[in-house]
Structure 1
Amino acid sequence: MDTTRRTLLSSCGIGTVALLTGCLGEGNGNANGGDETDDETEGDSDTSPTETGGPELSIVSTDELPDAPVRPAIEVTQKTATESQPPGLKATVTNEGDRALTLGEGRAIVFAYRNDTANNLMLLPAGSDYPVEAGCWRLTEGIAITEEYRMVTLEPGESASQVLELYGAPDADACLPTGTFRFESPYSVRDESGEEETASFTWGFDISLE
């Protein structure tokens, strides 16, 4: 797999604000199995118990495969948050054609730095330190993203993948939202040189946090 970067333009802060519910540590009862407390806030019943790490992540649906020689896919890698790791996904795109293809944009095709369509959540590459509240997994500030168009060349049968972590939007009153959320990304399929576009499409999926 060959990755190139084209046209570095600038950097920008990405941040969205939403009213979120479901902090890690909230739940329907205490960790020892006691009764609900009188001062429990409204919405706690929408999250999983404390010992499960908050709302559980699952994939509700994915779009139909595109009419192009590439196959995008998504899978859950971490169902619930822990004290050291937020919920996680893995995005993969595979060249199912008989010749090398160049795909763009290189981060978008594996859903890196993508917000859901309502701007409540953000998917970030795993393995980096982000500005979050410990055990909460809500971003405390925007993430700077360079505005460049990256191209990824895949040989026949080759895949590109990215392990992703799921974070809540910054400046919210709680950690992770509950409900159903949609992510989608545009794909550009080009010949090996990257000069001629042969197909383009948008592909996405819906997740649930309950």
Structure 2
Amino acid sequence: MQRRELLKCVSVGVCGGVAGCTSESGETPTETARTFERHVSVAAVDQASGDPPVRFDVSVSDVAVTSETTAFLSISTTNTDGTDWRIQTPFYKGESEDASEPGVLLYSLDAADHPPRGYEPSCYVDPDPSQESISYTGEGLPTHELAPGETATDEYILVNDPTDAGCFPAGEYHFESSPALYDKNDDWVESVDLSWGFDITIAAAVGSR
């Protein structure tokens, strides 16, 4: 992948840090429903290498994670070519890439097993792991049919990883995906590699430090 752009961090707090690790802005034993708060921002977006016919962009539509709500992200796919294409959703579901560190999970709201929109983080009460593993449903990936210049947007929900200690640990998290591309005859275009990725930053709100 070729990193094409670096986005300015817009969250309250400091960007950066080792992926998935806790810090002074992470969990403390004194956090309560009133004080628990995280802010989520996009740190960087990688575009596929070469000259791909589509472009991906990531934004955070709801930035705050509290005891009553979580953050939502949007990923847009734009056909920058002069040809009609069909493309798989740019990311579907899964954990951040460094699975050896405490992490977070991201689900497309098109996924059959995505948590409800009204998901309420309760991990601040007990940040110890509550599950040994995570099971995902195995349905096929949805696709978008894009005419030249057309954009499709997918919405995602961010949830805590119940297999790791912590509750939305502060840090930077990397997600990767390799969506398949199909031509107008619905043939898979194997010669085009759309592998790409993006980083998000989770930071504790200033008042909770």
Normalising by the smaller structure, the TM-score range is: 0.5 to 0.7
Q: Distance in 2 between matches of 1:124 and 1:157?
A: 26
Q: Please tell me whether the aligned partners of residues 20 and 172 of structure 1 are also in contact (alpha carbons under 8 angstroms).
A: no
Shift of 1:196: 4.3
> What secondary structure, in the 3-state scheme, does the structure 1 residue paired with 2:61 have?
strand
For 1:52 and 1:159, the matched residues in 2 are separated by 38
Q: Partners in 1 of 2:42 and 2:105 — Cα distance?
A: 15
Q: TM-score, normalised by structure 2?
A: 0.65
The CA distance in 2 between the partners of 1:148 and 1:71, in whole Å, is 22
Where do 1:93-132 residues align within 5 Å?
A: 93-104=77-88, 106=89, 109=90, 111-119=91-99, 120-126=103-109, 128-129=115-116
For the structure 1 residues 166 and 100, does the alpha-carbon distance in structure 2 shift closer, same or farther, using more than 3 Å as the test?
A: same
> Is 1:199–2:182 an aligned residue pair?
no
Query: SS at the partner of 2:168?
Result: coil
Farther off after superposition, 114-123 or 61-70 = 61-70
Please report how far the alpha carbon of residue 45 of structure 1 lies from its aligned counterpart in structure 2 after TM superposition: 3.8
Unaligned runs of at least 5 residues, structure 2: 1-19, 204-209
Matched to 1:112, the amino acid is Y
RMSD over aligned Cα atoms: 3.3
Q: Give me the whole-angstrom Cα distance separating, in 2, the residues matched to 1:201 and 1:73.
A: 13
Q: How does 1:50-199 map to 2 (within 5 A)?
A: 53-64=36-47, 66=49, 67-104=51-88, 106=89, 109=90, 111-119=91-99, 120-126=103-109, 128-129=115-116, 134-136=121-123, 142-197=134-189, 199=192
In the alignment, structure 1 segments of 5+ residues that lack a partner are 1-18, 22-42
Q: Counterpart of 1:166 in structure 2: which amino acid? A: L
Between the aligned residues of both structures, percent identity stands at 23
Counterpart-to-counterpart distance in 2, 1:98 and 1:200: 18
1:19-40 Cα offsets, whole Å, 9 max, x none, are: 986xxxxxxxxxxxxxxxxxxx
Cα distance in 2, alignment partners of residues 90 and 131 from structure 1: 17
How far apart, CA to CA, are the structure 2 residues paired with 1:140 and 1:160? 36
Instruction: Report the CA distance shift for 1:158/1:146 in structure 2 as closer, same or farther (over 3 A).
Output: same
Flag the structure with larger Rg. 1
The AA in structure 1 aligned to 2:116 is D
Provide TM-score, normalisation by structure 1: 0.65
